[in-house]
Structures are given as structure tokens and as C-alpha cells.
């Protein structure tokens, strides 16, 4: 049993009400939620939220009825890991059977495609890690063009290598943690306290599908890209 999960907190300081705000013709949450419902790999779907409007919307679409998120998990500082653990256990009680894998799609990353979900689950099933985490290649590299100051204020490359690195192509590859798509072994989620305790492997996605909405400008950029993707010219 693979459980699909969406976390959608009511509050947002950057873009108020963003998780249920309309974008490209439907609420933001639905761009992620619909991928879970449409996936043949996902056996059940759960939405963790403290927003009654989002909750009723999700349950009406077929999400499990687990109740609203507890208050201590609905704050700005509530850890994602604790939200996941609560959703897993609440969903499993409703299902009456053990969940073997947990797929989380971040509500604020609506540019992912169905194939990204499929490929992330397939990577998890093939490699059998504790967790698959979406990443994209970093635009800046700590071996080449990320710098920091020493005690004198002089700049140095953040991660120097013997002989130096003098081109981006010669630098070791690094990724950005892209808050988009995660697949976890359910037992790992139950027992661990943080993401990186076990074997976490990268699932690389194109950077343009990893954009995360955290500000009004982000919302406008993603809205523009989604309108372009779904334009008649793009679908011809």
C-alpha cells in the first residue's frame, strides 16, 4: 500500500491563502492532489491541513477522512517530519492495513509532471533506499563560485579542493534540495526523527519543474509558466 500525501497549512506569510488560491484554472493544491488521484501507483490519498475549507475539498475529491491537523503541527515552526508521521498513522488507522511507502507532493510546487511522480516511485522501488528526495542541479557550486569570509574578512571558496577548481564543469556536481516530490519507506518514517538519518538518495528533476511558491513574485512566475504550458500552442 502506497499512501499519497499533501500537506497544506492554512497560514502563509508570503502569499496569504496560497494553497487554495486559484492558479491556471484550479486551486493550487489540486495541481498536486490530482496527480496522486490519477496515479495507478498510489493506493490511497490523505491531506494534512488545519484549513476546514481545504479539508472538505480534499475529502470530497476522495481523500481519507482523518480530521484536521492538530494545532501543534499547524504553526510556522512545525517540522515537516512530524506532520508526515501524524498523517501516516492517522491514515493507517482509517485504512486498516499497513502502509509500506509514503509519497509526499509539496503543495507549492505545481509544475511537476505525472511522470515525475511515476519515476520517483520507480526509483524507490528499484533502489530500495530509506527515502527518495527530489533535487535539481544547483545554479551555484560551493567548490567553484560560492564563497565565504574568513576571520579577516577575506573571501575564499566555501569548499576548496587541492589545486583549486577553475571552471564550473570541473567542479563536483551538487544539487539543491527541491521541495517537490518525496518517497519514503513507511517504517523509516515511523522510526526516524529527521530526514537524513537513513539512506536518502536523489531524484533529479529539471530545475524549471522545481519552482516553489514562497512569495507573490514566485506565484506570478509559476502562474505565467503554467499558462504557457497549457496554452493551445503548447498542446498542439
Q: What is the pLDDT along the chain (236 residues), one digit of tens a residue?
A: 999 999 998 866 667 789 999 999 999 999 999 999 999 999 999 999 999 999 999 999 999 999 999 988 888 788 899 999 999 999 999 998 899 999 999 999 999 999 999 999 999 999 999 999 999 999 899 999 899 999 999 999 999 999 888 888 889 999 999 999 999 999 999 999 989 999 999 999 999 999 999 899 999 999 999 988 877 666 55
Sign of CA dihedral 186, 189, 195, 199: negative
What 3-state class would DSSP assign to 7?
strand
> What cell does 204 get?
533529479
Per-residue confidence (pLDDT) for residue 134, from 0 to 100: 97
Per-residue confidence (pLDDT) for residue 165, from 0 to 100: 87
Per-residue confidence (pLDDT) for residue 233, from 0 to 100: 66
Per-residue confidence (pLDDT) for residue 95, from 0 to 100: 92
Query: How far is it, in rounded angstroms, from Cα 7 to Cα 92?
Result: 16
Query: How far is it, in rounded angstroms, from Cα 181 to Cα 120?
Result: 8
Per-residue confidence (pLDDT) for residue 235, from 0 to 100: 53
Q: Do residues 100 and 18 make contact, with C-beta atoms less than 8 angstroms apart?
A: no
Per-residue confidence (pLDDT) for residue 14, from 0 to 100: 65
Give 46's contacts (C-beta < 8 A, 6+ positions apart): 3, 4, 5, 6, 63, 64, 66, 87, 90, 91
Per-residue confidence (pLDDT) for residue 236, from 0 to 100: 54
Q: Which helix (H) or strand (E) is 114 found in, with range? A: helix 114-127
Query: How far is it, in rounded angstroms, from Cα 95 to Cα 64?
Result: 8
Q: Roughly how many angstroms between the first and final C-alpha of the chain, as a whole number? A: 37
Q: Do residues 205 and 137 make contact, with C-beta atoms less than 8 angstroms apart?
A: no
Amino acid at each position: 500500500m502506497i499512501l499519497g500525501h499533501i500537506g497544506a497549512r492554512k497560514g502563509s506569510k508570503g502569499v496569504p491563502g496560497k494553497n487554495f488560491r486559484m492558479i491556471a484554472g484550479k486551486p493550487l493544491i489540486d495541481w498536486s492532489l490530482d496527480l496522486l488521484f490519477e496515479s495507478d501507483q498510489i493506493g490511497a490519498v490523505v491531506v494534512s491541513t488545519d484549513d476546514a475549507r481545504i479539508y472538505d475539498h480534499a475529502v470530497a475529491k476522495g481523500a481519507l477522512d482523518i480530521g484536521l491537523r492538530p494545532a501543534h503541527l499547524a504553526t510556522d515552526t512545525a517540522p515537516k517530519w512530524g506532520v508526515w508521521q501524524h498523517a501516516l498513522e492517522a491514515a493507517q488507522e482509517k485504512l486498516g492495513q499497513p502502509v509500506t511507502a509514503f509519497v509526499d507532493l509539496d503543495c507549492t510546487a505545481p509544475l511537476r509532471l505525472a511522470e515525475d511522480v511515476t519515476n520517483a516511485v520507480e526509483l524507490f522501488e528499484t533502489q530500495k533506499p530509506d527515502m527518495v528526495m527530489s533535487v535539481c542541479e544547483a545554479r551555484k557550486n560551493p567548490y567553484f563560485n560560492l564563497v565565504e569570509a574568513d576571520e579577516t574578512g577575506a573571501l575564499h571558496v566555501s569548499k576548496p579542493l587541492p589545486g583549486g577548481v577553475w571552471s564550473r564543469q570541473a567542479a563536483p556536481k551538487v544539487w539543491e534540495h527541491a521541495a517537490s516530490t518525496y518517497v519514503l519507506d513507511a517504517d523509516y518514517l515511523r522510526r526516524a526523527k529527521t530526514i537524513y538519518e537513513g539512506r536518502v538518495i536523489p531524484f533529479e528533476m529539471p530545475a524549471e519543474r522545481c519552482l516553489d511558491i514562497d512569495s507573490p513574485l514566485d506565484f506570478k512566475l509559476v502562474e505565467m509558466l503554467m499558462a504557457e504550458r497549457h496554452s493551445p500552442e503548447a498542446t498542439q
